[in-house]
């Protein structure tokens, strides 16, 4: 923690100067930061203010959607790389990408029913296949030139926007089809082509589809090693994101272009642990076996997703829950079911989740955590200790309490401690959430 704070201090000192787009758009400090190959490149002036980020921090739950050509073989989004499929072979899957049942309104409706406040769709993953009519796409490798013959991003952005769901776009700067991804120093011309594609496509995505709420970069690294920041010498993320800010002043940007971005990511199904984090962050995880569609029917259990949500919000984070539609555009029914059940659950526990802040107490890994809003404190219990849950004393006396998840819990609050005990014989759901209304 200390080292992070120290680093931030140094970086802020180095980068608090103005952002200029003249010439290469970089200050001397920024240029040297780009070459240091260590930390994410920082540029405080590119970051959103707290008030610009407020909607996102309050939104808490989003729907991630991984859809692309990889849905056709149905072995996950890394199939091209994992199975060493040559680009021209891989391109043949375009005949199978029909999207015949793709209905952006149905996706938006699912997000709504699921209590998801924003969505993020893979406009282009590492395989280079683009889900929109993209003049900058190398080889016009797009959903317009596949069996689908549709601009998926156009339909998606319009549907989400009109449903009131925040519109998010995922984009991978790197593209496996370019030999320079593997040998960027040896193939400088090819590397420049790949970079031009990224700049051209980001410009398209940020200028042709109305207001975009989230830009989720992923895969800013190069040569299959190192960090995103190590590859900043090529991507030049400050110039890239200066362009993005001109086109979309309020878009929330992920940290994976090599620039630190507006929030931090925690990826995968590992348990969320540790104390409250005092920065904006997001857990992303997938319901399926991979992020992209797989033919097995595996789905994460509802209780596990609920625990992840609670573990994220009690530590100040958001959560992005992924589904992987099939080549026709159908989200697997098992995943739909989990999202719908989450939505029903969020209807009752929503007050403890949305628009809350973490605290007043630090979470205990695997046991409990708290959130708060106005005069309300919410206690999220994952595992009841023998004899009840003992918390520190609350800042004010308790005026009333109720259990959002059903059943009843006895609350004994004194100036020394707060003790919560479930009534004998009551059901113990995966998470018990208790609302405590404090005296004004």
Binding footprint of ligand H79 on the chain (CB under 6 A): 77-78, 218-219, 221, 224-226, 267, 284, 291
Inter-residue contact 396 to 272 (CB < 8 Å): no
Token pair in block for residue 141: 């490798």
Which is nearer to ligand H79, 102 or 221 (by Cβ)?
221
Tell how strand 317-323 and strand 61-65 pair up: parallel
For the bound state, the minimum distance from the C-beta of residue 284 to ligand H79, rounded and expressed in Å, comes to 6
Which is nearer to ligand H79, 182 or 199 (by Cβ)?
182
Which is nearer to ligand H79, 42 or 283 (by Cβ)?
283
Beta bridge partners of 118: 62, 166
Cα 358 to Cα 378: distance, rounded to the nearest angstrom:
9
Inter-residue contact 143 to 237 (CB < 8 Å): no
Cα 254 to Cα 237: distance, rounded to the nearest angstrom:
12
Inter-residue contact 295 to 311 (CB < 8 Å): no
Which is nearer to ligand H79, 194 or 368 (by Cβ)?
194
Residue 358 main-chain phi, psi, to 5 deg = -75, 160
Cα 168 to Cα 258: distance, rounded to the nearest angstrom:
19
Nearest to 413 by CA among 393, 428, 439: 393
For the bound state, the minimum distance from the C-beta of residue 292 to ligand H79, rounded and expressed in Å, comes to 8
Which is nearer to ligand H79, 149 or 295 (by Cβ)?
295
Cα 294 to Cα 331: distance, rounded to the nearest angstrom:
11
For the bound state, the minimum distance from the C-beta of residue 257 to ligand H79, rounded and expressed in Å, comes to 14
Which is nearer to ligand H79, 101 or 224 (by Cβ)?
224
H/E stretch holding 434: strand 432-438
Output DSSP code: residue 181.
H
Which is nearer to ligand H79, 18 or 225 (by Cβ)?
225
H/E stretch holding 409: strand 409-413
For the bound state, the minimum distance from the C-beta of residue 76 to ligand H79, rounded and expressed in Å, comes to 8
């Amino acid at each position: 923690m200390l080292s992070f704070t120290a680093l931030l201090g140094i970086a802020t000192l180095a980068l608090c100067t103005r952002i200029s787009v003249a010439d290469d758009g970089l200050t001397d400090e920024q240029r040297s930061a780009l070459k240091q190959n260590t930390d994410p490149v920082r540029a405080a002036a590119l970051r959103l203010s707290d008030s610009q980020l407020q909607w996102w921090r309050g939104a808490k739950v989003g729907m991630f959607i991984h859809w692309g050509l990889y849905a056709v073989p149905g072995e996950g989004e890394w199939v091209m790389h994992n199975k060493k499929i040559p680009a021209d072979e891989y391109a043949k899957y375009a005949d199978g990408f029909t999207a015949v049942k793709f209905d952006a309104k149905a996706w938006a409706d699912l997000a709504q029913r699921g209590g998801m406040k924003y969505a993020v769709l893979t406009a282009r993953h590492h395989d280079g296949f683009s889900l929109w009519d993209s003049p900058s796409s190398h080889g016009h490798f797009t959903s317009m030139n596949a069996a689908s013959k549709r601009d998926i991003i156009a339909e998606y952005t319009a549907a989400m926007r009109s449903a009131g769901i925040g519109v998010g776009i995922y984009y991978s700067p790197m593209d496996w089809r370019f030999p320079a991804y593997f040998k960027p120093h040896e193939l400088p011309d090819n590397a420049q082509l790949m970079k031009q594609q990224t700049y051209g496509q980001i410009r398209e995505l940020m200028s042709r589809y109305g207001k975009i709420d989230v830009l989720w970069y992923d895969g800013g690294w190069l040569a299959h090693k190192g960090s995103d920041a190590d590859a900043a010498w090529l991507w030049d993320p400050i110039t890239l994101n200066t362009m993005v800010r001109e086109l979309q002043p309020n878009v929330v940007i992920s940290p994976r272009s090599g620039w630190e971005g507006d929030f931090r990511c925690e990826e995968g199904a590992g348990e969320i642990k540790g104390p409250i984090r005092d920065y904006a962050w997001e857990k992303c995880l997938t319901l399926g076996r991979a992020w992209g569609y797989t033919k097995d029917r595996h789905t994460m259990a509802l209780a596990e997703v609920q625990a992840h949500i609670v573990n994220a919000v009690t530590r100040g984070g958001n959560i992005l829950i992924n589904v992987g539609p099939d080549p026709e555009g159908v989200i697997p029914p098992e995943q739909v079911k989990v999202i719908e059940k989450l939505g029903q659950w969020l209807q009752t526990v929503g007050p403890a989740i949305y628009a809350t802040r973490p605290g007043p107490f630090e979470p205990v890994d695997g046991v409990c955590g708290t959130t708060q809003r106005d005069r309300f404190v919410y206690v999220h219990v994952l595992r009841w200790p023998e004899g009840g849950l003992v918390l520190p004393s609350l800042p004010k006396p308790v005026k009333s309490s109720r259990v959002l998840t059903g059943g009843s819990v006895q609350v004994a609050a004194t100036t020394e401690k707060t003790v919560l005990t479930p009534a004998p014989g009551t059901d113990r759901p995966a998470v018990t959430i208790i609302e405590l209304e404090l005296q004004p």
